Structure 1
Amino acid sequence: MASPSDQANAASRGCVLLTGANGFTGKYVRAELEAAGYTVVGALVGASRGPHEVTLDITSPDNCRRAMEKVRPDYLIHLAAISFVQHADADAFYRVNVIGTMNLLQALLDTGLSPRRAIVASSANVYGNATAGFIAEAQPPQPVNHYAVSKLAMEFMVKTLSDRLPIVISRPFNYTGVGQEPHFLVPKIVSHFVQRAPVIELGNLDIERDFSDVRMVAQAYRGLLEQDCAGQTVNICSGRPYSLRAILDTMQQIAGYDIDVRVNPAFVRQSDVKTLAGSPDKLRSLVANLQPIPLEETLRWMYSAGAAN
């Protein structure tokens, strides 16, 4: 059986080491890259299960170095993170998102690798409650929770290595699609309509988010991998905010019934970012032919997939 590095040499477009490969985003990014002709080696916590997978615990520097020696990737896309804002262990945000990312990038240097591109996923949450219309990358960060602070700290750490590695920092805004965990907002709403639940309990109904389709996000990652944009920080977003009320209205039209919406004070967080909408101008200038998918189309896709299961 060929090793990942042997397969990478045989691949016409090179080998991508993808952390978080089995996560919601990672599965779509992997499919996008493989369809474009890349060999993708998925980094997994725990035992690897095939020739296109490798065991990787990013909290262990030694494990990171062993994985790099084994795979010897041409590209790195680092998606692995603690990403649920309400995660109970605040320490984990910093242990995984900051120190883990440092271990991963340092392992590239320690093993003498020279990747063509290393994309590190941050988050639009670093902008906090910015109210400057459509937020561009130059907007000063003002994080309001541990998740966002950990991502901003990670960005500063990453930039200390930018003279030695061709790093691109992505700042994804909200996105959704089939397969996202049900504790996230949009899958929760869709699942209630699939089940034809009479009542749904939510938090602040007036928050607005710039929702993208995960399939577009995967295309954006491939595009950034292929562009000469090292040293850049790039929003991944649609440029259109949607209120929670608008999403509920759309789902009621799709499902054909009205649901009783109740605000549960326990779901209302004081640190909630009220409006978060990004400017996609830089992304569109770098990635040609990137077409946002209307949220209604995404919701219909999710509803149909849920109804089929």
Structure 2
Amino acid sequence: MSTAAIPASAGRKLLVIGSGFIAAKLARTAAVEWGWPVEVVYRNYQNPTLANLTSHALPSTVAALAELIAASAATDIVVALGSSFVPDINRDLDLAMQQHLGGALQVMDAVSRLPTPLAGKILMVGSASEYGEFDDAPVDELHPARPRDHYGHLKLTLRQLGLHYHAHHGLPVIHVRQFNVTGIGQDSRFVLPSICLQVAQAKKSNTSDAVHRIIAGNTAVRRDFLAVEDVCEAYRALMLTGAPGNIYNVCSGHAHKIADLIVMAADIANIRIEVEVNSQLLRENDKVQEIICGDPGKLKHLGWQPRVQMRELLAQMIANYSTAAGSVPSASAKI
């Protein structure tokens, strides 16, 4: 079943809470491709790519946020707050708790105070890190959640908060277990943007007979990557037909070894490479977890299918970095 099987979405209005990579792409996609009215609420970072959309600073009180939500007349809300760059989270856990839990709790409390129930859904963007331990086979939503890092514990706590507001306040909360997302516009500290940027720079050096050095972390691990465009379509399917109170994996169902993706990127650019492993780029999870891969079967039952193939995705990112406009700013404060 293709995304064409997802029901029509006339009459929806989206409120995106967040302004980072996924949130901004979702807001633009909903407004331009789906024709949904969209408003954005940001905490610290007013994303310039959203300048044509109505944006609001996150209010300091729940009452003020409830007024904002009511005035927006949103049918659906997506909460995508907090950095997903794990080293930042480990450096400042207090800030991470505020980013990932404080804002989301404020949103749910505000919605619970609305005079009229929300007509659509609330998507809480969690993480595959909630699972912590992975089997060789792709894990489904019934797999035990045993987080191994702060990020996973924060997102699992977010899941429990959403479950509470769904069960006791009737909020239509859906919890998203988001696996690796990538694409044009992602912070170049993340693995695939970093690889594609280095490959693009090597290609532009005009030394086609040279062997170019690519610096990376653990290249033996396998990760489940999904193009941000496919993520947006997955969120649309969840808003239209997802079941409140449920968890859904948003993933491709296929794991790619980082070393293989580096080779693929070099082949796309037609350059020769050698890989240097930098220990400072190794995440704790990369040292112990060889594979992270999810089962998207539950999501596919809603009519969603991933469309962007990995080679196509890498080619797009390399081409973007090959242009003058292809630079990516730091996303450390994009929440």
Check conservation: 1:237, 1:280, Cα contact below 8 A: yes
- 1:194 correspondence with 2:200: yes
Unaligned runs of 5+ in 1: 1-10
Structure 2 gaps, min length 5: 1-8, 206-211, 325-335
**Does the residue aligned with 2:244 lie in a helix, a strand or coil?**
coil
CA RMSD of aligned residues (A): 2.1
> What is the aligned partner in structure 1 of residue 149 from structure 2?
145
Aligned ranges for residues 1-309 of structure 1 at < 5 Å? 12-20=10-18, 22-34=19-31, 35-45=33-43, 52-56=54-58, 60-87=61-88, 88-115=91-118, 116-163=120-167, 164-196=170-202, 198-272=212-286, 273-286=289-302, 288-309=303-324
> 1 CA distance for matches of 2:152 and 2:53?
35
Any idea what SS the aligned residue of 2:236 has?
helix
Q: Which residue of 1 aligns with 2:5?
A: none
Whole-angstrom CA distance in 1 between matches of 2:68 and 2:113: 12
> Larger relative CO (CA 8 A, sep 6+): 1 or 2?
2
Letter in 1 for 2:76: Y
Q: Are the counterparts in 1 of residues 134 and 293 from structure 2 also a CA contact under 8 Å?
A: no
Distance 1:262 1:122 in 2: 32
**Distance of 2:66 and 2:175 partners within structure 1:** 22
Q: Matches of 1:86 and 1:228 in 2, distance apart?
A: 32
Q: What SS class does the counterpart of residue 161 from structure 1 fall into?
A: helix
Kindly state the Cα deviation for residue 12 of structure 1 after the two structures are TM-superposed: 4.7
Shift of 1:283: 0.7
Q: How has the CA–CA distance of structure 1 residues 239 and 228 changed in structure 2, closer, same or farther, with 3 Å as cutoff?
A: closer
Distance 1:298 1:50, change over 3 A: closer
CA shift for structure 1 position 123? 0.6
- Shift of residue 32, structure 1, vs aligned partner: 2.7
Distance in 2 (CA, whole Å) between partners of 1:205 and 1:185 is 10
Task: Return the offset for 1:301.
Answer: 0.7
Is contact 1:176–1:213 with CA below 8 Å preserved after alignment? Answer: yes
Shift of 1:255: 1.1
d(CA) in 2 for partners of 1:76 and 1:282? 21
- Which residue matches 1:6? none
Return the offset for 1:275.
Answer: 0.9
User: Per-residue CA shift, 1:217-252, capped at 9, x if unaligned?
Assistant: 111111111115111100001111000111111011
SS of 1:131's equivalent in the other structure is coil
TM-score (norm 2): 0.83
Residue by residue, what CA displacement relative to the aligned partner does 1:168-208 show, whole Å, maximum 9, x if unpaired?
11111102100001011100000001110732322211111
1:30 alignment partner AA: A
Whole-angstrom CA distance in 2 between matches of 1:52 and 1:12? 20
Counterpart Cα distance in 1 of 2:260 and 2:200? 18
Equivalent pairs counted in the alignment come to 296
CA distance in 2, matches of 1:199, 1:51: 41
Identical amino acids, percent of aligned pairs: 24
Aligned AA for 2:201? Q
